């Protein structure tokens, strides 16, 4: 089977799977088996594309023309392959987790959940494989619309309110800013194709280039750059598997992935470096990194703290893009992968605490490590990845971002990264530290002598947590596949 056929099949599989999931909804075991098989087939198809892309191939499929020279195109390049591999693999893991979580909570509308999750992953694959900004924009909007019912899953007034914020910000920024930028780019360059070295150099400059760059960066609302970040913490009313989807698998990663694609293939790294606006966007991203971390420290709700942590960590990718150096671009691409495994582990653990201990607040988690040691250990390791410490893969993305900052002559950004890591230590390690070493409010003086591991989450939840935790560790010892693909992005 050639690469072009594989691309088409990979695009179709999640949507076909969504139909099959809907048809088997009355039989939960079959429905969930179909979901797992669909995810496995998708990941297999994506993985078979790796050797060719790693060898420098760039297979492309043009389905139809919308305007002369403007088609609905799918072109696979290294950055897109990284995003597709992450989304397809973590879909499998999140499904395993969801089986335990949704059943333990006796959640309503489980079939709708799995159907929309499949559509969301299909949209993410469309974004990953998009060969131009038009194709990417279509799937970007489908992703927003398909995840809206997931955010409002519980149907409560709070969920509906969060859904309005979610839809309002994401559609408002994409239509009000991003679509304008796309049309402007088409009028300037006569193409929207993702091209190595960019398509805008020599076509626009000065203030116009600065405005266009701002339209793109702020128009990609899924990247959650301040002040367009409120949708992300608002969406925490959704079930934990949806939070994992939003923060690690598809939605936010689609945002920062799109920012990186625009930087590399629309503006081009060399041209981007000459645009003065990239400097103030760089500092805005740095400010978002620090401010979101400070806000996270004040959150007692665990999912809210993780949400603001995500806002901070996403801006690492934007920061790397705006540094516009080869090493910073490599760091940004690696951050997409490393953060995915670290943050999904943390959300999985947060969900496990909800399922077993019915605890949502950090102040309620004192001593939780004695009854849920495996979950709390996984939370510790996931935190180390977000902080950027061994033996977790998050170290490498921060390392290359710091090197990229030095390469661009931005030593202050190295300081921002260091301060951010220290803030990560404070607001993340508090949870496992209190979990293992603090007594709960109901503990007596001899509670430290009671047996450990009295209660853990259902097996499917523990399996999912183990996979993502071990995955983050593997990325520390074997980051080469991602690094090599990112090297091709900056030096094909």
Joined together, the tokens standing for residue 37 give: 């098989």
| Per-residue model confidence (pLDDT) at position 448 | 46
Same domain (yes/no): 264, 289: no
User: In which band, very low, low, confident or very high, does the pLDDT at 454 lie, cut at 50, 70 and 90?
Assistant: low
- Residue 456 pLDDT grade (very low, low, confident, very high; cuts 50, 70, 90): confident
Which single residue is written with the structure tokens 């990845």?
Answer: 385
For residues 321-343, average pLDDT: 94
Q: Which of 98-107, 153-162, 267-276 has the highest mean pLDDT?
A: 267-276
The count of other CB atoms within 10 Å of the CB of residue 67 is 9
For residues 258 and 303, state if they share a domain.
no
pLDDT at 260 over 90: yes
Domain end marker among 268, 291, 310: 268
Q: How confident is the model at residue 446, as a pLDDT? A: 45
Domain with 372, as residue range(s), is 276-492
Tell me: do 180 and 323 sit in the same domain.
no
For residue 227, cis peptide bond before it (omega within 30 degrees of 0): yes
- Listed residues 225, 240, 268: the one ending a domain: 268
Assess whether 110 and 164 both reside in one domain. Answer: yes
Share of the chain above pLDDT 90, in %: 70
Question: What does the pLDDT look like over 189-239, one tens digit per residue?
Answer: 989 999 998 999 888 888 899 999 999 999 999 888 988 888 888 887 778
How far is C-alpha 171 from the chain's CA centre? Answer: 18
Q: 253 and 197, same structural domain?
A: yes
Nearest CA to 345 out of 244, 205, 442 is that of 244
Q: How many domains does the chain have?
A: 2
Terminal CA-to-CA distance of the chain, rounded, Å? 25
Say if residue 251 is in the same domain as residue 281. Answer: no
Mind listing the pLDDT tens digit for each residue in 91-148? 999 999 999 888 887 778 889 989 999 999 999 999 999 999 999 999 999 999 998 9
**Residue 452 confidence (pLDDT) above 90:** no
User: Is the same domain home to 234 and 289?
Assistant: no
Length of the chain: 492
pTM attached to this predicted model = 0.92
Residue 328 is predicted with a pLDDT of 95
148 within 8 A of 245, measured Cβ to Cβ: no
Q: What is the mean pLDDT of residues 286-302?
A: 94
Q: How confident is the model at residue 312 (pLDDT cuts 50, 70, 90)?
A: very high
Average of pLDDT values for 275-281? Answer: 85
Q: Which of 204, 239, 268 is the last residue of a domain?
A: 268
Same-domain check for residues 309 and 185: no
Residue 341: the pLDDT is: 94
Give the DSSP letter of residue 451: P
Same domain as 15, residue 111: yes
Compute CA distances 30 → 87, 212, 246, whole Å.
23, 49, 26
Question: What phi and psi values does residue 64 have, to the nearest 5 degrees?
Answer: -160, 165
């Amino acid at each position: 089977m050639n690469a072009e056929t594989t691309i088409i099949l990979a695009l179709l599989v999640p949507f076909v799977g969504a139909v099959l999931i809907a048809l088997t909804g009355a039989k939960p075991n079959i429905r969930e088996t179909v979901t797992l098989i669909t995810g496995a087939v998708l990941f297999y198809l994506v993985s078979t594309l790796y050797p060719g892309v790693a060898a420098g191939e760039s297979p492309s499929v043009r389905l139809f023309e919308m305007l002369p020279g403007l088609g609905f195109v799918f072109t696979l390049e290294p950055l897109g392959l990284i995003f597709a591999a992450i989304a397809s693999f973590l879909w499998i893991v999140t499904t395993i987790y969801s089986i335990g979580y949704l059943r333990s909570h006796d959640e309503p509308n489980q079939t709708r959940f799995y159907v929309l999750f499949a559509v969301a992953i299909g949209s993410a694959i469309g974004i990953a494989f998009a060969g131009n900004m038009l194709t990417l924009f279509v799937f970007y909007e489908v992703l927003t619309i398909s995840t809206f019912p997931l955010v409002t899953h519980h149907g409560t007034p709070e969920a509906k309110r969060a859904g309005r914020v979610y839809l309002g910000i994401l559609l408002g920024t994409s239509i009000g800013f991003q679509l304008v930028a796309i049309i402007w780019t088409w009028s300037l360059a006569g193409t929207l194709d993702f091209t190595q070295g960019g398509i805008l150099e020599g076509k626009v400059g000065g203030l116009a280039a600065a405005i266009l760059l701002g339209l793109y960066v702020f128009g990609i609302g899924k990247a959650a750059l301040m002040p367009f970040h409120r949708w992300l913490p608002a969406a925490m009313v959704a079930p934990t598997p949806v939070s994992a989807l939003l923060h690690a698998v598809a939605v936010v990663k689609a945002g920062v992935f799109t920012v990186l694609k625009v930087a590399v293939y629309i503006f081009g790294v060399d041209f981007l470096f000459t645009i003065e606006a990239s400097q103030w966007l760089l500092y805005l991203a740095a400010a978002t990194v620090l401010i979101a971390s400070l806000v996270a420290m004040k959150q007692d709700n665990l999912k809210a703290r993780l949400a603001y942590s995500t806002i901070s960590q996403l801006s690492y990718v934007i920061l790397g893009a705006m540094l516009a150096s080869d090493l910073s671009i490599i760091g940004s691409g690696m951050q997409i992968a490393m953060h995915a495994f670290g943050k999904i582990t943390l959300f999985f653990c947060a969900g496990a605490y909800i399922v077993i201990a019915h605890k949502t607040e950090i102040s309620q988690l004192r001593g939780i490590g004695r009854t849920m040691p495996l979950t709390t250990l996984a939370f510790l390791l996931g935190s180390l990845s977000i902080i950027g410490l061994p033996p977790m893969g998050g170290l490498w993305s921060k390392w290359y971002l710091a090197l990229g900052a030095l390469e661009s002559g931005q030593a202050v950004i190295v300081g921002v990264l260091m301060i951010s890591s220290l803030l990560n230590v404070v607001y993340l390690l508090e949870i496992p530290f209190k979990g293992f070493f603090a007594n709960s409010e109901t503990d007596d003086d001899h509670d430290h002598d009671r047996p450990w591991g009295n209660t853990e989450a259902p097996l499917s939840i523990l399996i999912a947590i183990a996979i993502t935790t071990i995955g983050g560790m593997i990325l520390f010892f074997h980051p080469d596949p991602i690094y090599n693909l990112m090297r091709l992005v900056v030096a094909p």
